Structure 1
Amino acid sequence: MLIMELTTVWFALITILWAGYFLLEGFDFGVGILLPFLGRDNRERRLLINTIGPVWDGNEVWLIVAGGATFAAFPEWYATLFSGFYLPLLLILAALIIRGVAFEYRGKRDGEQWKTRWDWSIFVGSLLPAILWGVAFGNIVRGVRLDEHHEYVGSFFNLLNPYSLLGGLTTLVLFTLHGAVFLALKTDGEMRQRANALASRIGIPAVAIAAAFLIWTAIAHFDGVGVALFAVAALALVGALVANRLGREGWAFIATGATLVLAVVGLFVTLFPDVMPSSLDAANSLNVDNASSTPYTLKVMTWVAVFFTPIVLLYQGWTYWVFRKRLTVEKIPV
């Protein structure tokens, strides 16, 4: 009984970690994607980078913790996921490395060509994960080719199916919209107006694409709670567009964040109790029971999470509070 309860607890905690990652890293990716287009010159691009400068690396910690929690709580899931999705996850890792290096190296030398090269590196390092995370989660929910040993027997091209590609397009437009709303919230003057206008233009296709993906998910994998969460996520997305048009960037950012969180939670609720369904035979699927660690491991992890999670949340919340003020291009050195 204890092992069943703890596996459910850790499935829920991993859901929260992924939702937090999409919420926080989502606007980071959005800013990176918009960097070469919204920033017209070096000062403006420096302004955009400064909006996420104090927090982007802290936001990536959510990914590390989510991966570590999956490895410790559900090692079979971790092993199958990272072996079957090896190439897309390797591409994500390479993109994140390039992106991190670009943030650090961009200001190390003067010269327009040097800075432009790293700006495009930030763009690529943000674009690839924004697409590939949606593709990966789309495949997890849809189901993949697992044999009786819970090993992935498909190819890379099996992962590029219409449903998962739509999932990748969904995360791309939602992250880009989330980033545009964040920039409207964190900047002032002309940049704020341009970011606000861009968010309005992105919003309509974002609603259409996200709605198509969520409706497809609800039809193919019907779950009452999941459908309810998807419906609220859709309403939050529409509310974000209304708030953005009214110039209420704070409410718009809360709404786009709620959209991402509710969508991720809805996908995990739809997935439960499976963690990686098999498209070949339901008996081959990995679930919270056959993929979990021992009861002792889960118990120790639970106590560690109880003590350290509040500390991490308080520290990150304090960081956002310290760097809460709007930025303007006038304060960027020429």
Structure 2
Amino acid sequence: MTVAGLVALVLLLVIAAYACAGGTDYGAGFWDLTAGGAERGERPRWLIDHAMAPVWEVNNVWLIFVLVITWTGFPVFFQTVFAAMWLPLALAAVGIVLRGAGFALRKPARRLAGRRLYGAVFAIASLLTPFFLGAAVGGIASGRVAPGTAASPDNWANPTSLLFGLLAIGMTAFLGAVFLAGDARRFTAPDLDGYFRRRALAALAVVAVLTVVMLFVTHDDAPHVWHGLTRGVGLVLVVLAAVAALATGWLLLRTADARWSRVTAVVAVASGIFAWGMAQRPYLVPVSLTVSEGAGAPTTMRWLMLVTLVAVVLVFPAVAYLYWLDTHGELDSLTDADLRRGGAGDEA
């Protein structure tokens, strides 16, 4: 494998990491939006706040890696995509900022109107951001953003883009519900466990339907990707994603502890991302820009690999450890009772 091919593989790995980690947070925002009114949605939103608080900011680390690797390792690809689809990408960027601000400000806001406003901003942005990111990916997969392509609504408002956008929402809703069901068990809230299990199963069914529709749509609208998804490595990854999705559904239906459902859900989504990436080989943009044509200078690529290696050694273990602490309940915020006990111990 060439250096450019290796960097492209690293880029795909980081995209999958962001889709799974950031996607879980986007999914939590989706369920916040659909939780209902203040009384009905109080408990689901309580769980969403407690589950997201420790890790929601760190998930953007993967997005930063995606941007750095893209503009450094594949500058032609970066210029092509951002010039042709600046509008959906700009809307996605605004959504990332707004959802972060909404989530951070809705809890400390003193007035009910302020909490509702910030909560609505967080929830709506959590829905729109993955849609626009998915629409941009669909524009790439359908080959509508060849080098020199001018910005146009057709670049991202086409059948493949719209379907990828809906799939992005569905996958984030699926991941969010699976992880929230696990968090409900951690917080000993059996009612919320069942609540989010049912929603995870519903989201999984929607994703399955959209995936089937995608195969029909891409046959005519993105033939190169369809060919890659139905043959070779792409087909193997599609089958792996399907098996992992079925395993997740089976685990969610069990009455016993379904902690492994998180693992299988991540495998399902990550396999889908890899299936798309492998289906595009050897192109960054089918069928106009190959990996080798879009790569930066050889010296740049070697330095990029060195920096990536340093990140693997220093950053990735720290992020993985943070996720482990969060999923094992080691980062739960202190309660008033904890603070009182601490104060009493100091006085003693």
Provide the TM-score with structure 1 as the length reference: 0.89
1:75–1:137 Cα change, 3 Å: same
Q: Distance in 1 between matches of 2:145 and 2:319?
A: 39
Equivalence for 2:233 = 225
C-alpha deviation, 1:129, in angstroms: 1.6
Q: Do the aligned residues in 2 keep the contact of 1:43 with 1:332 (CA within 8 Å)?
A: no
Q: Do the aligned residues in 2 keep the contact of 1:218 with 1:227 (CA within 8 Å)?
A: no
C-alpha deviation, 1:145, in angstroms: 4.7
Q: Distance in 2 between matches of 1:197 and 1:97?
A: 30
Correspondence 1:20-169 to 2 at 5 A: 20-38=17-35, 40-42=40-42, 44-146=44-146, 150-153=147-150, 155-169=152-166
**Structure 2 gap ranges (5+):** 337-348
Q: Do the aligned residues in 1 keep the contact of 2:145 with 2:285 (CA within 8 Å)?
A: no
Secondary structure, counterpart of 1:235 in structure 2: helix
1:180–1:154 Cα change, 3 Å: same
Q: Counterpart amino acid of 1:313?
A: F
Q: Do the aligned residues in 1 keep the contact of 2:80 with 2:145 (CA within 8 Å)?
A: no
Q: Distance in 2 between matches of 1:36 and 1:169?
A: 16
C-alpha deviation, 1:37, in angstroms: 2.9
C-alpha deviation, 1:41, in angstroms: 4.6
C-alpha deviation, 1:43, in angstroms: 5.6
Is 1:206–2:215 an aligned residue pair?
no
C-alpha deviation, 1:36, in angstroms: 3.4
1:332–1:83 Cα change, 3 Å: farther
Provide the TM-score with structure 2 as the length reference: 0.85
Is 1:318–2:321 an aligned residue pair?
yes
Q: Distance in 1 between matches of 2:122 and 2:151?
A: 32
Deviating 4+ runs (over 6 angstroms)? none
1:249–1:116 Cα change, 3 Å: farther
C-alpha deviation, 1:203, in angstroms: 2.4
C-alpha deviation, 1:6, in angstroms: 0.6
| Higher deviation after alignment, 102-111 or 120-129 | 102-111
Equivalence for 2:278 = 269
| CA shift digits 1:72-118 (9 cap, x unpaired) | 10101011111111000000000011011112211222222211111
| CA shift digits 1:268-323 (9 cap, x unpaired) | 1111211113xxxx5xx121122111111111111121122232111011112222
Secondary structure, counterpart of 2:45 in structure 1: helix
- State the structure with bigger RCO (CA 8 A, min sep 6), 1 or 2: 1
**Structure 1 gap ranges (5+):** none
Correspondence 1:243-282 to 2 at 5 A: 243-247=251-255, 248-277=257-286, 282=287
| Higher deviation after alignment, 5-14 or 162-171 | 162-171
Q: Distance in 2 between matches of 1:11 and 1:44?
A: 39
* Matching residue within 159, 165, 184 for 2:181: 184
Q: Do the aligned residues in 2 keep the contact of 1:74 with 1:292 (CA within 8 Å)?
A: yes
Equivalence for 1:5 = 2
Q: Counterpart amino acid of 2:56?
A: W
Identity of matched residues, %:
25
The number of aligned residues is 319
Q: Distance in 1 between matches of 2:251 and 2:161?
A: 30
| CA shift digits 1:7-61 (9 cap, x unpaired) | 0010000000101000111110000110133373546423312201111111111
C-alpha deviation, 1:263, in angstroms: 0.9
